[in-house]
């Protein structure tokens, strides 16, 4: 098991806040989950802007990064794959060099957003549900791409699975939105951050 991975995020999401900005964050999440084309391009441009010095995300993405979207909760699930759409438009906007759809779900897990608190998939369950298809060319630098991060279990498990297949690669994670918990208000939607997802006491913990 890996001990930690670096991660970055651009926007915050409040699932329960009652302010106007909290409501906008929930709309942002809906647009992201639906992979609205206009929305995706707009926010991919914003991410690219945040990678230019002196912005906080400067240096997080590298020119040779391969972006790997995190699979949805079930294999061969129909409909929109927001993480894959996000990864594609990020590359189109100059973030990373290519996408690689080499990480797969081989068995379904409960969706964390809709599962009861005690039923949310563990890191181990996510890890067992992933499989890596060996790449034709082994990337030296990989960034996992997801739409939303809460605790970080999914991204941590995905990174651990990739580490087995690509032991020499540098592996990091990026999520456009990060959940800020059961708070009543947030001040702004755009709030870039860099941090870690750590393995602590048998579970993944996002910091911050």
**How does pLDDT run across 47-80, given as a tens digit for each residue?**
999 999 999 999 999 999 999 999 999 997 788 9
Query: Could you report the per-residue pLDDT of 76-108, keeping only the tens digit for each?
Result: 778 899 999 999 999 999 999 999 999 999 999
Query: Could you report the per-residue pLDDT of 101-157, keeping only the tens digit for each?
Result: 999 999 999 987 655 566 789 999 999 999 999 888 999 999 999 999 999 999 999
Answer yes or no: are the C-beta atoms of 162 and 186 closer than 8 Å.
no
pLDDT at position 116 is 59
CATH number of 4-207: 3.40.50
Q: What is the domain partition of the chain in residue ranges?
A: 4-207
The helix/strand/coil state of 115 is coil
Answer yes or no: are the C-beta atoms of 9 and 177 closer than 8 Å.
yes
Residue 44: phi and psi, rounded to 5, are: -65, -40
Answer yes or no: are the C-beta atoms of 182 and 150 closer than 8 Å.
no
pTM for this entry = 0.96
């Amino acid at each position: 098991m890996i001990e930690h991975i670096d991660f970055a995020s651009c926007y915050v999401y409040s699932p329960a806040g009652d302010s106007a900005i909290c409501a906008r964050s929930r709309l942002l999440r809906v647009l992201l989950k639906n992979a609205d084309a206009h929305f995706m391009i707009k926010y991919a441009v914003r991410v690219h802007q945040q990678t230019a010095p002196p912005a906080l995300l400067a240096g997080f993405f590298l020119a040779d990064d391969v972006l790997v979207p995190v699979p949805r909760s079930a294999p061969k699930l129909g409909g929109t794959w927001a993480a894959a759409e996000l990864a594609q438009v990020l590359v189109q906007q100059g973030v990373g060099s290519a996408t690689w759809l080499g990480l797969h779900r081989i068995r379904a897990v409960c969706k964390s957003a809709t599962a009861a608190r005690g039923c949310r998939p563990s890191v181990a369950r996510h890890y067992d549900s992933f499989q890596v298809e060996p790449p034709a060319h082994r990337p030296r630098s990989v960034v996992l791409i997801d739409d939303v991060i809460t605790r970080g279990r999914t991204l941590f498990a995905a990174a651990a699975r990739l580490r087995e297949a690509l032991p020499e690669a540098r592996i990091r994670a990026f999520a456009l939105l990060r959940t800020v918990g059961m708070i009543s208000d947030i001040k702004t939607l755009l709030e870039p951050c860099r941090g870690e997802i750590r393995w602590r006491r048998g579970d993944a913990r996002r910091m911050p």
